[in-house]
A and B are shown apart, each in its own frame.
Chain A
Amino acid sequence: MAVAAMQLADWIQAIAQLAFLLIFVLLFFGFNQRIQIYMWSRDIKAKLRILEGMARESRKKTLDFMLKHKARDAEKILNQVIDFFVIEPVSIEPTDIIKRLDHLFDTRRRRFKDEFSKAMPEVDEVARSKAETAAEIASALNFIYRIVRHILLLSEKTRNWILIMQLQLLMPQILRIAETYRRALDDFISGVPIGDAAGPLVAVKLANYNGSWRHVDDETVYAVTNYEGREVILVKAKGPGSSVGRPGYATERLIEEYVNRGVKPSLLITVDAALKLEGEDSGVVAEGVGAAIGDPGPEKIRFERIAAKYGIPLRAVIVKMSLEEAIRAMTKQIYEGVEKAVQRVASIIKSESKPGDLVVVVGVGNTIGVGQ
């Protein structure tokens, strides 16, 4: 009995030694990496399914919203919008690149507007703009899902474990962004002001909620008010629909008109929401020099050009917030930041202009939920 037990122990020892040897040899052939890649791939696939669900959910919500507002061919239009793309202009020849970029963005904007006007002729502009933004969010979520899937499949196909590792490390961040977009969709559909509406809200507050607003173009409005003896022109996107308007174009046009009448503004102030750095508090107001606007170029350059052309000091006031706060319903903390920004703009006007001067204040950002 004792001999049999000892023999069994010897066999177990021999098998264990063989297994260790085998594992040791396999390590030289990258066995550990393969296991790790398998685990990373599984993790990415699990999160990819969540991304797919988000893309599908946002599409369904957008479609429901469009159908609720009696949209014609809603599904066809949504499919078109979700796959819509803009090809960047040639950048190795930079001459007139801004003009070309502006033209492309303008074409895109008109295309979207026309499609939704044709599909939803019976509803007001506000509902139409909400549908447009909802479709853009659905498009963004669909894009995130497709890109992640593409990288995963490509890295599996080419056995590129560095790509898989990078994707796996980035997945929590990607999921966080996607989740922010998913939640933002509900806020846009219900028409609540978002954090990015800080700029337009500052303009409305400076007009004391009752300025006489006029159109500069179909999506941008302005009002003239008086602040301690200064004539103040306020510019913002036309609300309460979801729109960022064309603040650069509107400001340029208004300043040119006033200069032609013989009045040159003595100060140009842009107010916008800006992304805070991790660790910074939300709703903090900061000021600086330059155009506070997050556009890819065409609108921002108009501020810089018109200010440089007439030697107008270009000042910027920002309300700091995270990406989540910028595209989701405005929090109380951000609203308090808006109130502080109003005071900061007022103090800049008082200290950097004289009574009788003309000052331009531009509230930059999406004006959803903020009328005029």
Chain B
Amino acid sequence: MVDGGSLEWLQPLLLIVMLMAIIALTLRQASELRRMQEQASKKTKTLTIINCGDSGRVERSFKEGDYVGKRVSECKNGEGLIEAIYTIEEKPAPKQGSAPQSQGSPQGAKSKWGLLKGLRRNYSKL
């Protein structure tokens, strides 16, 4: 067994090392969670681009039934043609005191495990 007199300094050192390891692990988990939340909160918007000939292009949100090559009458001078449909990433709304809610967990996941549980809860409802 350890002689209490000569190795007394070892105990606080071990304690400090353990504390530092716990802090490092917690920080790592927090950054992983942040990355997962950022990934989940990426929202996209689908746009339909209509070519109106001489009067330029009209851009609006995608509606079911739209397809590239479809003729639509949404131009000022009559008929236009859907030239493209694509998605763009929506910029996140400015934070107003509260953290953005994750898609997987409705209550906003507090930990990585919470996020996993949130996903599970959502799917078990089905």
Binding site for B on A (CB under 8 A): 13, 46-47, 49-50, 52-54, 56-57, 60, 190-193, 201, 204, 209, 239-240, 329-332, 334-335, 369-372
Contacts and interface: CB of A to CB of B under 8 A. Distances in A.
Interface in B88-126: 88, 116, 119-120, 122-124, 126
Given A329-B44, A332-B88, 20 more contacts: A47-B116, A50-B116, A50-B120, A52-B123, A53-B120, A53-B124, A57-B126, A192-B85, A192-B87, A201-B68, A204-B68, A240-B67, A240-B69, A329-B86, A330-B87, A331-B87, A369-B85, A371-B67, A371-B68, A371-B70
Interface string B27-42: 0000000000000000
Contacts of B85: 192-193, 330, 369
Contact size range, B:
20 to 34
Contacts of A13: 1
A191 B86 contact: no
A332 B87 contact: yes
Interface in B39-56: 44, 46, 51
**Secondary structure at chain B's binding surface: helix, strand, loop or mixed?**
mixed
B49 to A, nearest CB: 9
A49 to B, nearest CB: 5
A240 B67 CA distance: 6
Nearest to B63: A190
Nearest to B85: A193
B5 interface: no
A329 B69 contact: no
Nearest to A190: B64
**From B46, B51, B68, residue with most partner A Cβ within 10 Å:** B68
B84 interface: yes
Contact of B67 (A46, A56, A239, A330): A239
B74 interface: no
Given A329-B44, A370-B68, A46 B116 contact: yes
Given A46-B120, A332-B87, A56 B68 contact: no
A330 B70 CA distance: 17
Contacts of A52: 123
A56 B123 CA distance: 8
A49 B66 contact: no
A50 B124 CA distance: 8
**From A57, A331, A369, residue with most partner B Cβ within 10 Å:** A369
B120 A329 contact: no
A209 B83 contact: yes
A53 B83 CA distance: 37
Contacts of A370: 67-69
Closest 4 CB pairs of A and B: A53-B123, A240-B67, A371-B69, A335-B86
Contact of A50 (B51, B69, B81, B119): B119
A191 B65 contact: yes
Given A60-B126, A209-B81, A332-B88, A193 B120 contact: no
Nearest to A47: B116
A66 B123 CA distance: 21
B39 to A, nearest CB: 10
A335 B69 contact: no
B67 A53 contact: no
B112 to A, nearest CB: 11
Nearest to A334: B86
B87 A329 contact: yes
A194 B67 CA distance: 11
B81 A330 contact: no
Contact of B86 (A53, A54, A60, A332): A332
8 contacts: A209-B81, A239-B68, A240-B69, A240-B70, A330-B86, A331-B86, A332-B87, A370-B68
Contact of A53 (B66, B87, B126): B126
